Structure 1
Amino acid sequence: MQMVRAGLKAIYLSGWQVAADANTASAMYPDQSLYPANAGPELARRINRTLQRADQIEHSEGKKSVDTWFAPIVADAEAGFGGPLNSFEIMKAYIEAGAAGVHFEDQLASEKKCGHLGGKVLIPTQAHIRNLVAARLAADVMGVATLIVARTDAESAKLITSDIDERDREFIVSGERTPEGFYTLRNGVDACIARGLAYAPYADLLWWETSTPNLDDARRFAEAVHAKYPGKMLAYNCSPSFNWKSKLDEASIARFQREIGAMGYKFQFVTLAGFHQLNYGMFELASGYRDRGMAAYSELQQAEFASEAKGYTATRHQREVGTGYFDAVSIAITGGASSTTAMSESTETAQFKPAAE
């Protein structure tokens, strides 16, 4: 809700974060597709229901602070959790949950890793195209124009399952096999370009997962794709797995997104900013509370009050979750005769005065 209030135009649903703390197994996992396949769609549904509640609350108050609460969700379908049929099903599930876009990566689902971990195994180009076709078929069957994002991990993956696809052979190191039978891969930007060009007819956006925030490499990929597919939309992960200050100076960081935007990277996102913000914020509060008691919490509260001038609303937590909305429902049901409404006699109403007051 606060992301939309702050003015962000889209929401990224991260598989990494689903694995870590938002999956239906109620377990903490690394980003290796270990969580149940329905967890991502369920989180998309929860997000949309939260946005729906925010819209209902404002409507009941006669307010309209944002143009629309229903920011599009771009969701992580990992490597499809299997083959084409699995990709078909998870695409349907995400559509039912209200996702506006879904991305699929070209890793072997059973060995899937975060793009910034080792041990990644690619599937043949033609195999990933089948997954993309399956996702498009699901959208067609559902009758919606959900965007498909094709991601390649060929920049850093070192293994591939098979040499069956001619397009992959120039990147396979001849004669080298692993104990699991995988082929050794010559990875890099060229491999990403080859796969990006192959995936372009089957996806609305192309995303190549990078190891560093490198403008020259970003330009090289974009120019190669646009030479054959002018105007093809691209996606870029401004990843928390990069140590940004070790790679770029402050001025370069400040203009980074503007520059890649000019190259055609239309969807730019931080895959797990929420994880870092929530953990750092709670660590700071807990440390302060340990040392200074309620003075630390009061400082947080005063910072919240100060942020209300910019549109922040969660200071008033009772209102934020819909207490006043359900009071309005109760009053409507009883014709105004309810004596059990909650907000009017709350400490929040008495003590948390609006900024204008």
Structure 2
Amino acid sequence: MSQRGFQMVSLVEPAVSAPVERPDVYFSAFGPDPSWGEVSPEAQPRGPNMTRSYSALRAEALARYPKGAAPGGVGVDDIVQLKVQNTYDTHLDIARAMAKVMRADMAAYDADVSKFTQSLGCWSGFHAQQMIKAVKRLRGTAKGTYVYLSGWMVAGLRNRWGHLPDQSMHEKTAVADLIEEIYVSLRQADEVALNDLFAKLKAARAAGDAAAEAAAIAEIDGFESHVVPIIADIDAGFGNEHATYLLAKELIKAGACALQIENQVSDAKQCGHQDGKVTVPREDFIEKLRACRLAFEELGVDDGVIVARTDSLGAGLTQKVPVSQRPGDLASDYIKWLKTEPMGAPAEGELAIWKDGAFVRPVRMPNGLFAFREGTGRARVIEDCISSLNEGGADLVWIETDTPNVDEIASMVAEIRKAAPKAKLTYNNSPSFNWTLNLRKQVRAQWIGEGRIAEADYPDGAGLMSADLDLTELGQEADRRLKAFQTDIAARAGVFHNLITLPTFHLTAKSMDELSRGYFGEDKMLAYVATVQREEIRRGVSAVRHQHEVGSDLGDTFKEMVSGDRALKAGGHANTMNQFAAE
């Protein structure tokens, strides 16, 4: 025991293979990379600080401090542990690394459309952390899993002014703050998990078990980070192109490697699934795409991903008529869809468009906005996507639809790919859709058309929602299509990324309703135990040990590092979390 009460550990290196230097990102999205060396082939990059193995870091520390401790008595093994647990120095490092992850995933999807990616919208760091933990328990890896940061949920749940609609009324800083929070939570999940692995290593060394020691080191080197890419919703840019650029920089510095921006007017922005949407001319939108690209480039996120969203399918209005310089340019392609009416010679101060050898008057609404011709949304969507990809340098496009219909989206993508062959989509599997009703309607209509059923066999409209249909042939076929929806849309419609924007909003509402009904009703404590705690235990949800989940054991470890035997630890015999130790 040293003078400060620290236990000195063995300085003999365990029998592991020689360390291998690695680049910041050392895996291919869906397969092992030989450059990993001794690290597990399932490992995912942990950040710039962990491009070397545990053994290499320990050897480096021992070269600096051959006696096994730094000045003041700080142990070499403690230094190495904290270096390993500090997976990223800054969140800008995360943005750079996760952009490379997304690029690798996109390349993997291009080679095999079954390699699509998924995310859920999360409105807190804890939601994101628990999502990634669940995916890792299910699959053994979080590869192909992202976090979606929804502007709707920031407006509805994360702003200072209460619950607001998705109209860009929330503070700009709230979006960056949530990105920061999510990555703090994901990095803490790394720290807690790695601390547990180092506890195994220390126990193995204390027992003199060389095999267990080597196994623990292999687990540390093979550890997969909880840090995954975030696709961040920047709405319509919260202002002009300069405002977009300034906000984009803040989101990127918070860790975002992908920005999703939509082609609506900033000061009239609406949720994509509401009426009253007003789009901007394509030149205006391209300028905002450029603003996002410049923000990425300035901050050294050279692989940053831009998702260009078009709301034109459900938008019937525009704020201004762009200036056309020549036939067939972006402005004229936008103008041609305006609703117009015949007119004579323009009067002074009257707006007119020269079309087909005559002047026509664009139809103007009482609020001064201009209307598009009915039925032109699909054509405008296709042109929007082509211009965003080919002129604006977008990496992915997002088509906001009014129903979930694979055939409809696939047909639009087929048109887009005639001009942009490598077009890939991000698709919103939105809670704004009544999925049960939509899919049952689609099955019913198809089967009637094929003569498989008569119209009277199943109800039409809202009647299709009946629980009595759940186990019928139609109900089961609709559920089969729901289960296959993301796979189908990835294969047939070029959807690289499937997301649900607001699942944690609805899940929180449902879960609180379920618990409250029982707890404040007849079941009292049984409601909590049966619906929450037992399920946590039986599913292996680590949050059942809530003290450990928020870093209590991690804190104890640090106290030991600096205080040795004097450490006042929380994890002793009186800690009630010990009741869950076997879980």
TM class by shorter chain equals: over 0.9
Match of 2:496, SS?
Answer: strand
Q: 2:272 & 2:527 partners in 1: Cα distance?
A: 38
* Letter matched to residue 153 of structure 2: Q
What corresponds to 1:296 in structure 2? Answer: 527
8 Å contact from structure 1 (residues 318, 348) kept in 2 = no
Q: Deviations over 1:163-189 (max 9, x none)?
A: 212121122111321222110123422
Matches within 5 A, 1:148-167: 148-164=306-322, 165-167=331-333
* Letter matched to residue 205 of structure 1: L
Q: Deviations over 1:94-123 (max 9, x none)?
A: 110001211000001111111001111111
Q: 2:577 & 2:412 partners in 1: Cα distance?
A: 55
Structure having the higher Rg: 2
State the shift of 1:243 in Å. 0.1
Judge which range, 340-349 or 115-124, deviates more. Answer: 340-349
Instruction: Tell me which of 563, 568, 571 is aligned to 1:334.
Output: 563
What corresponds to 1:99 in structure 2? Answer: 256
What corresponds to 1:197 in structure 2? Answer: 386
Q: 2:437 & 2:574 partners in 1: Cα distance?
A: 49
Match of 2:566, SS?
Answer: coil
8 Å contact from structure 2 (residues 245, 294) kept in 1 = yes
Q: 2:572 & 2:420 partners in 1: Cα distance?
A: 59
What corresponds to 1:350 in structure 2? Answer: 578
Matches within 5 A, 1:292-331: 292-299=523-530, 300-308=532-540, 312-331=541-560
Match of 1:34, SS?
Answer: coil
- Matching of residue 134 in structure 1 with residue 291 in structure 2: yes
Instruction: Tell me which of 369, 380, 390 is aligned to 1:182.
Output: 369
Q: 1:183 & 1:161 partners in 2: Cα distance?
A: 6
Q: 2:184 & 2:308 partners in 1: Cα distance?
A: 27
Distance 1:136 1:346, change over 3 A: farther
Distance 1:207 1:56, change over 3 A: same
Q: Deviations over 1:228-266 (max 9, x none)?
A: 222222110000000001111212211111111012110
* Letter matched to residue 173 of structure 1: K
What corresponds to 2:514 in structure 1? Answer: 284
Q: 1:67 & 1:2 partners in 2: Cα distance?
A: 15
State the shift of 1:66 in Å. 6.3
Q: Deviations over 1:175-228 (max 9, x none)?
A: 321222110123422110011111013201000111100112110121112222
What corresponds to 1:171 in structure 2? Answer: 337
* Letter matched to residue 38 of structure 1: T
Match of 2:544, SS?
Answer: coil
What corresponds to 1:59 in structure 2? Answer: 194
* Letter matched to residue 182 of structure 1: L
8 Å contact from structure 1 (residues 316, 348) kept in 2 = no
What corresponds to 2:151 in structure 1? Answer: 15
What corresponds to 1:261 in structure 2? Answer: 490
Give the TM-score normalised by structure 1.
0.95
* Letter matched to residue 387 of structure 2: A
Matches within 5 A, 1:198-217: 198-201=387-390, 202-217=393-408
What corresponds to 1:89 in structure 2? Answer: 246
Match of 2:436, SS?
Answer: helix
Q: Deviations over 1:9-68 (max 9, x none)?
A: 111001111111123x25221111110011111100000000111111111111669622
8 Å contact from structure 2 (residues 167, 268) kept in 1 = yes
Give the TM-score normalised by structure 2.
0.59
- Matching of residue 42 in structure 1 with residue 177 in structure 2: yes
Q: 2:489 & 2:228 partners in 1: Cα distance?
A: 23
Q: 2:188 & 2:480 partners in 1: Cα distance?
A: 40
8 Å contact from structure 2 (residues 547, 577) kept in 1 = no
Q: 2:386 & 2:507 partners in 1: Cα distance?
A: 36
Identity of aligned residues (%): 34
State the shift of 1:135 in Å. 0.5
Q: 1:322 & 1:233 partners in 2: Cα distance?
A: 40
Q: 1:196 & 1:272 partners in 2: Cα distance?
A: 24
Distance 1:163 1:346, change over 3 A: farther
Distance 1:336 1:101, change over 3 A: farther
Question: How big is the alpha-carbon RMSD for the aligned residues of Structure 1 and Structure 2?
Answer: 1.5
Structure 1 unaligned regions, length at least 5: none
Q: 1:345 & 1:216 partners in 2: Cα distance?
A: 61
8 Å contact from structure 1 (residues 189, 217) kept in 2 = no
* Letter matched to residue 301 of structure 1: Q
Q: Deviations over 1:313-348 (max 9, x none)?
A: 11111111111111111111112321x211224543
* Letter matched to residue 419 of structure 2: K
8 Å contact from structure 1 (residues 5, 66) kept in 2 = no
What corresponds to 2:80 in structure 1? Answer: none
8 Å contact from structure 1 (residues 206, 235) kept in 2 = yes
Instruction: Tell me which of 486, 494, 500 is aligned to 1:270.
Output: 500
What corresponds to 2:134 in structure 1? Answer: 6
Q: 2:363 & 2:573 partners in 1: Cα distance?
A: 73
What corresponds to 2:39 in structure 1? Answer: none
8 Å contact from structure 2 (residues 150, 501) kept in 1 = yes
Q: 2:272 & 2:511 partners in 1: Cα distance?
A: 26
State the shift of 1:287 in Å. 0.6
Judge which range, 34-43 or 170-179, deviates more. Answer: 170-179
The number of equivalent residue pairs is: 350
Q: 2:289 & 2:188 partners in 1: Cα distance?
A: 33
* Letter matched to residue 172 of structure 1: L
What corresponds to 2:281 in structure 1? Answer: 124
* Letter matched to residue 348 of structure 1: T
Match of 1:177, SS?
Answer: coil
Match of 2:543, SS?
Answer: coil
Structure 2 unaligned regions, length at least 5: 1-128, 136-141, 198-218, 323-330, 341-361, 440-477
Distance 1:353 1:335, change over 3 A: closer
Q: 1:348 & 1:18 partners in 2: Cα distance?
A: 36
